[in-house]
Amino acid sequence: MSAEKSEWESSQFRKYDLNLEEIPRLHCDDPRVDELMQKNQPVLITGSNLVKSAVDKWTLDYLEKNLDKSNHTVFVSRNHKFKYFDEKKIYSKTSPKGVEFSPPTKRVEMKVADFAKKLNEWKRGDERLYLQESLNSSMGSTIVEDFLKFNWQFVTEKKNKYHWGELTSNVLFVAMEGNVTPCHYDEQQNLFAQIAGYKRCILFAPDQFECLYPHPVYHPHDRQSMIDFDRPDYTKYPKFKNVKGCETVVGPGDVLYIPIYWWHHVESLMRGGPTITVNFWYKAGPTNLEYPLQDHQKVSIMRNVEKMLLEVLQEPKEVGPLLRTMVLGRYS
């Protein structure tokens, strides 16, 4: 992948054993953008001015001065990975009895000033921080003003053209250089707008499900890959060797379309300073079942089968044996 005007270099990437294609990088007026989005394919869109009002202004200092003085949600990790988990699933009735789940990160509330201070004073071996919070009207009048100046026409045009559901949230992400959000998928359409710094985004299509081994649906790490990209266990996860993916680097002003159910791994480039992103998450649109079904629809079906089996069996340990009895030698 070539650096745009050498703003970054691949030595700032973390090293993984992956062969990756490049995600197309196209100007927003290029008709191929819509050809790809129509097919639920990722594309990096330039020139949209989606978050121009923030690109010109938002730095850590600016956020410190203008984000309101109350607390903000910050995740803390003992390493560079910030693997998401659903707290509600740690204690749910279907979580296996006595199976200890040790959260890989902790969620704290922090003033932006304290967050910025810790980033500026960070040294190797210290805990890492990742501010992640939905933007809302209580974010301070200046931030709200910048937010209202986003190019809403651009995103609304995409929402209407592809019959997406409602905009559910705009999440603000402020990461330390080197932070990684491990490989996972979301059940929402996502316009991922980069404001400051550079992020490498590695994406895999929903049909790579069997190469990426997601945790069971009942698990707190539902939707997250079980594979540690830093040290893949090819014995436990042999199909990871064959995974096919694509990648791009998003920089200020770029918008990456991350289609619903597409796996993505996101890393803030090492030695690249803090990164700032705002995403636009949209609910899925109405599902019209046309055959052959699309790969993301099959993921949705598998999720529903797992949920139904859990509901009726109650005991997660019984799901695997029942599925094996049903499939092995009969459907395989």
Residues that bind Zn ion (CB under 5 A): 186
Point out which span in 34-42, 59-67, 185-193, 204-212 binds ligand QVT (CB under 6 A): 185-193
- Residue showing the smallest CB distance to ligand QVT in the complex: 181
Q: Which residue, chain included where needed, has tokens 């005007």?
A: 5
How far is residue 161 from each of residues 153, 158, 197, 285, measured CA to CA in Å? 12, 5, 30, 11
Return the number of the residue (186 or 306) whose C-beta is nearest Zn ion: 186
Cβ 180 to ligand QVT shortest distance, Å: 8
Q: How far is the CB of 144 from ligand QVT (least distance, A)?
A: 21
192 binds ligand QVT (CB under 6 A): yes
To the nearest whole angstrom, how small is the minimum distance from the Cβ of residue 186 to Zn ion? 4
Of 52-60, 88-96, 186-194, 288-296: span binding ligand QVT (CB under 6 A): 186-194
Select from 134, 257, 286, 271 the least CA-distant residue to 194.
Answer: 257
Shortest distance, CB of residue 189 to ligand QVT, whole angstroms?
10
Query: Which residue in 310, 196, 184 sits closest to 258, CA to CA?
Result: 184
Token digits of residue 152 = 């809403």
What is the number of the residue whose Cβ is closest to Zn ion? Answer: 186
Q: How far apart, in whole angstroms, are the C-alpha atoms of residue 172 and residue 279? A: 7
Peptide bond into 292 cis (omega under 30): yes
- Of 115, 164, 173, 282, the one binding ligand QVT (CB under 6 A) is 173
Q: What, of Zn ion, ligand QVT, none, does residue 262 touch, CB below 5 to 8 Å by kind? A: none
Considering CB distances under 5 to 8 angstroms, the limit depending on partner class, which of Zn ion, ligand QVT, none binds residue 12?
none
Considering only 48, 105, 170, 181, the residue that binds ligand QVT (CB under 6 A) is: 181
Spatial separation of the C-alpha atoms in residues 248 and 21, rounded to whole Å: 9
The residue among 45, 212, 88 whose CA lies nearest residue 36 is 45
Let me know: does 267 contact 200? Beta carbons within 8 Å: yes
271-310 residues near ligand QVT, rule: CB under 6 A: 277, 279
Amino acid at 106: K
Residues 227-266 that bind ligand QVT (CB under 6 A): 264, 266
Please count the other Cβ atoms lying within 10 Å of the Cβ belonging to residue 88.
8
Q: Is 224 in the site for ligand QVT (CB under 6 A)?
A: no
Residue 209 touches ligand QVT, criterion: CB under 6 A: no
Q: Are residues 68 and 147 in contact, defined by beta-carbon separation less than 8 angstroms? A: no
Q: Scanning the structure block, which residue is given the tokens 């301070």?
A: 140
Q: Which stretch binds ligand QVT (CB under 6 A): 68-76, 97-105, 141-149, 184-192?
A: 184-192
**β-bridge pairing 189-196 and 105-110:** unpaired
Beta-bridge partners for 22: 247
Smallest separation (angstroms) from Zn ion to the CB of 314: 30
Judged by beta carbon distances under 5 to 8 A according to partner kind, the member of Zn ion, ligand QVT, none in contact with residue 173 is ligand QVT
Residues lying near ligand QVT in the complex (CB under 6 A): 173, 181, 186, 190, 192, 264, 266, 277, 279
